Every structure is written in structure tokens, then in C-alpha cells.
Structure 1
Amino acid sequence: MTVPAPQSASLVRDFEAALPKILADIELLVRCESPSADLAAVARSADLVAEVGAAHLAAAPERIVLDGRTHLRWRLGDGPRRVLVVGHHDTVWPVGSLATHPFGVENGVLRGPGCFDMKTGVVMAFHALAALESTDGVTVLVTGDEELGSPSSRALIEAEARGCDAALVLEASADGGALKTERKGVSRYEVLLRGRAAHAGLEPHLGVNASVEAAHQILATAALGDAAAGTTVTPTVLDAGTTTNTVAAEGRFAVDVRVRDTAEQDRVDVAMRALRPVLDGARVEVVGGPNRPPMSRDASRDLFARAARIADGLGVGPLSAVAVGGASDGNFTAGVGTPTLDGLGAVGGGAHADHEHVEVAELPRRTALLTALLRELLDHAQRPHGKEDDTSD
């Protein structure tokens, strides 16, 4: 089913007219700082997101607090759950970041901590849903710990995604507005090294140096990467020793793993757990494991084709697609078998960086795309079984 021409012509214009309100809502959310690790800040942000969302959706959300982190869920209508809209309101920016990175709009560019990743996407979802004739069957889930890897919300996300026809993830787009149709899976490990302390000048030979053991293990870990398979295994944070004149008795380092498929995730996991000490008397312990499953291109293929066709009908295409190394909650929705399309949020750049920004001119265009995609998915879900879309032009 193509987007009807009258709707195509008016939908973008409708959101252009609504742009001041969209910008005002984004400003409200960005000015409410919400670093993931600050539970009070996340709770304050959840209150504001609930208020903004309720104004657009004509319904208050359920507040779901897990491990002290506040998540919001709207189950709209009474019908079967058909479409899951996913976002998060936590950011990587500490409280006080507005002093150095103030909210502002200048020369068509919106700036502020968390504007791109991903408070703008949350606002876009509210405005898109408010423009629909019916939202029956839509679940909106806005979580508060995505930037930490969704430790408390993962089960909630997976439970809401199961059985849905589609999951639409309002994470920011890739460069140039590309949608994210493939994401790598993520594993996270910490390697703990234990040796024996000794005086570094008087009797270093009596010690077992955890710093040296760490060096051996870091090289062994980094060697597990496979560029041809797209697998990266990257040692990151490192800590060892206590004083400059003491043989290090303990050390630790973190490892970030990104993979394209579960076979690689399993291979690396087995290899990490097989690490053994090199130095006599040293001990090695590996903790952690797979955090997010890969989101394969198969999970998004049909949804992307649908979105690309709709974008052309709206005059906001052509859409492009890209595979990315970063993960999102879309990994979880795809992991339970739900067709998933990611990167439907803001167009801009600089996630987690000083130059984080959103292109204002793209907001009406991308919100119109989201609205039309939601409308078509809901319309398709309500048709009698066996009635296929009319894909003629």
C-alpha cells in the first residue's frame, strides 16, 4: 500500500507547522539532565517524559522501577499488541553538562546534551503517535538505563517485543540520515589478575607481578579479534598495582567485544573463559559475557523496504541503510524474533561528543515518515488474515 497522495502532500507540512512545539518539547527534555548512573536524575527525567507523553497520547504511562531505574510504558488501546515503539531517556552526560553544552538552536542546528542520543527521538515518537487516527495495539517503552547496556530493562524490552509485528527503535540515525538495519552484538568482560606483592627494589623476585600478567592477557585477548568476520575484541580500561615501589599484587582490565553473528559471539566467549595465567603463581579470573545479541539484516529487511517506499511517497527519500558496530535495545527486540527497524530518530551527529547536534530541517520529514510507517503497520495488522498489501503505485 503506497501512502495516498493527499496524505503525502500534507503530512510533512503538518509537522512543519508543528515544529515550534516539537522544538519546545525537545528543549524540555534536554534541559532535564538524566545521566544513567544518577537514579534521582533519571527519576526526575521520567516524570517529565511522562508529562510530555501524556499530553500527546492522552494517557498516563505505567512507571516501572527496576533496580532503582525508572522506565515508562504506554499500552495504547485494548487490542492485541502489534507495534512496539522503543526509546530511552537516560544519557551519558553528567549533571552540570548544560553549563558547558547549553541547549540552543542556531542556523538550523539544535544542540544540547542528549539531544541526538536520544531525547529528540522520544519527542518524535510522541508527535507521530498523536497524529494517528488510532493507536490501538501500540506499546511505547521509554527506558532509563540503555546507556548502561539496559541491565534492568532488558527482560522488559524482550517481553514487550515478543509477538509484535514490528519494533521501531527511535535511536538517532546514522550519518546522512541512514537507518540502522544491522547492529553488532556486544559482549563485555572483566579480566581479574591476582599475583603477589613484594618490594620492587629489595626483592622483586619474590613477587608475582599482576601488571606483567595483565600485559600477557591483554595481548592474548586482543588476538581474538577477526577482521574478516567483523569481530573486534578490544581491551579498554586497565588498572593494576598500588604504589610505584611495589610489585603489583592485583590488576584488572575490561574488554569490549563486537560481533556480527552469534557463532562469533560464542567463539569469543569460549576463548575468553579459556584464558590461563602465564606467570607461575598468578591467577586469572574472567567475569561477564554476552550483553546484546546481534541484530541481523534479516530482522529489518522487510521493514526497511516498506519505510523506503513510504519515504519516496512522502517525498523525503531516498532512504539509505547501514550496518553499525554500536548496539541498542533493537538488538534485544530482534533477538526475540521481532522484525526491527532502528535509527528512525533524529538526523544529526556527535552522539556522546562535544558536537552532538540535530538537524532541525529533518525533524518534520522524519516525523512524517515515522507517522506514515506506523499508520501502515497498524492498518496492515487490522486487515483480515490473508489480505496482503496492495503494493501497486
Structure 2
Amino acid sequence: MSGPRSVRAAVAVAVGRTEIQDIEVPATDASSGTLRVAITGVCGSDWGYYQNLPRSRGPLILGHETVGHVETLGALAAQRWGVKEGDLVALEEYLPCGHCEYCRSGDFRLCNATDWRLGGLRYGATALGVAPGLWGGYAQVQHLHANTVFHRVPPGVQPQHAALALPLSNGIEWAYLQGGAGPGQTVVIQGPGQQGLACAVAAREAGAECVIITGLSNETDRRRLALARELGAHHTIDIEQHDLLETVAEITGGRMADLVIDCASGGTGSVTSAMQLARKKGTVILGGQKRRPIPEFDSDRIIANFLTVKGMRGHSFASVELALQLIAGNRHNVTAMSTHTFSLDETDLALRSLVGDGVEGAIHMTINPHT
């Protein structure tokens, strides 16, 4: 009879510091299971976790864009989940309670149980000290909690590309399901990162007549704007070389945008410009977190122009399913967003690449824990 087994995991032990550790795989009980991780995507939010959570919560395994094969599952889990051992699945990061009003209405991403800031559990943001510890995708095996949300990966889709499901689903959620992008519309997207590019793909798929994406003059944004055109954007604007409002007015014949999606993180100026870019009765989607107040915010403009302004948080089950369909058909060449795969030993390099301190030309990166 064999004893407990251990697997390798990249553990964020302190701010900006990762160690490869051997972690014991927990035994599966009736309502849980384990996933043999095939690959895990590197999300922009991982950098924020890397800089904050190890300090506030102790060591943890990052990574929440996880794709892998169901390895073991208990009898109750098999009945509840509708998956079987060997199935290739993509996980959501959320671990909702399943019974609150948000869960019952389909908005489980708003469930308090999914918010680590309120003490909830979440894949890729739960401390190693919380049993059984294997909560993140930067490991060879991941624990499957009873409330895991699964998506079957369509046949023929490689795990590396399936890992695009969550970032692409954000674009579908923001641009299409919440933003209402559709035929005949002009959509302006501020910021050419993963979320901005995903929004461009979603807007094109929804039939938008004109998709415009903006960025800066640095080399990273130049590459991303070039990729945006490959993904179907009609126009790209370097806002350090061209006046943003004047350029959009010229492109649209003065009509401006039906939908503006702010995916830029950091500075608050993009919120102000988003309000200025939207036409009367337009919609503004705020997705890029600023982590600071907006000085002298002109709320009267929202009233005067009859704008709809929405804050976005994550994705829905439906948007992830739609994302997997787009990936399966490689619609709009979406798999081109997947640019780099790293080994588990290179986890820190992948994380630093999120902020331009690693490899060049990275868009969506993945970590293969078995290399």
C-alpha cells in the first residue's frame, strides 16, 4: 500500500519571491477531488496578488486560469459535478456558496464566498495554510473543492489555448453581454492588454461595424496594437502621438462611440476620456481598476448625455462557454493571443513579464507544471 504522495508547486512565499516546494496531495473525500494540471494561464491580476497576498495571508500557490484532467473525484462529487475521471476541463476561479441570491440568479461571481477580501475561498488566492493547501494552478495537482465550477474543453482544443477561456470570457462579458455591442455600432476600447484585446474580439464577433482600440507609444503597446489589428480591430490609436477625441471624431464622422470600454489600469484619465468618447445615450463600461479616487469627477456629463455607466467584475458561466466556442473555432485568430509557455521553475519570470521585467512580446502566458 503506497503512502501519501507529493507534487511540485510554485509557492509565492513573500512579495516577489517564489519557491518550488513539494506539497502533499490530499486524500479525496466524498465531495472533493483532484485535478492533474495540464497548464495554467498567467493573469494580470496575479501580479497584484504576488505583491500583496503573500504579505497579508502568508505563502500561497497562485494561478487561477487552470486547465487539466480530472484525476480523482468522490462519489458525491461525481454526482454533483457531472464530470468523470480523465475529462479535460477548464476551471473558474470562483468557489460560490450555491445558495445565496446571487448564486441562485446566476451571478455567482458576486457571491461573498468568492471574495477573498471577505474571507472567501478562491483558486489562486487562498493561502497554503488553509487546508488542503493546493488551491492554485501553478502546481502539478490542484485540489477540487465541492463548489468548483467546471467547463468541459471542446474536443481538439489544446490546453494552452483553452487557458484563454477566462480572459476571453471577460471580453465577451464586458463587450457583448453587458455592453450590448452589436451590428452597426462603434466600440472604443481603451488599453490593449489581455482584457482589451478580448473585448476587441468579442465586439467583432458581435458584429460591431467599427472597433477602435487605444494604447501608448511603448514597445509593448505597439506590439499589442499590431495584434489587435490581426484580431479584427478596424483602427488603433497611439494616444501619445494622436489626440484621442479628435481622432475618434474623425473616424466616426463626429458621432463618437456607442460603447466605450475602459480596460486601462493605473491612471484615472481614461475614465474621464471614456465619458467624453461616448455619444449621447451611449454606454461606458469600466473594467480597469484604478485603486485611487478620480479627482473632480464630472458626474453631470453622465446626466447631460444620458449615459449608461457600468462597473464590471469578472465573467459569467455563459461567457466562459462562449469563449471556449470561439477558441475551438479559432474565430478571429484568437489563439494568436497565446504567446509564451514557461516551466514551473520559470514562474517568477512569467509573473515579472506581466510588468515588462521579463520576456518581451508577452500577451497571454501559460505555465506547464510538468516541464
Question: Normalised by the size of structure 1, how large is the TM-score?
Answer: 0.25
Question: Normalised by the size of structure 2, how large is the TM-score?
Answer: 0.26
- The structure that is helix-richer by fraction is 1
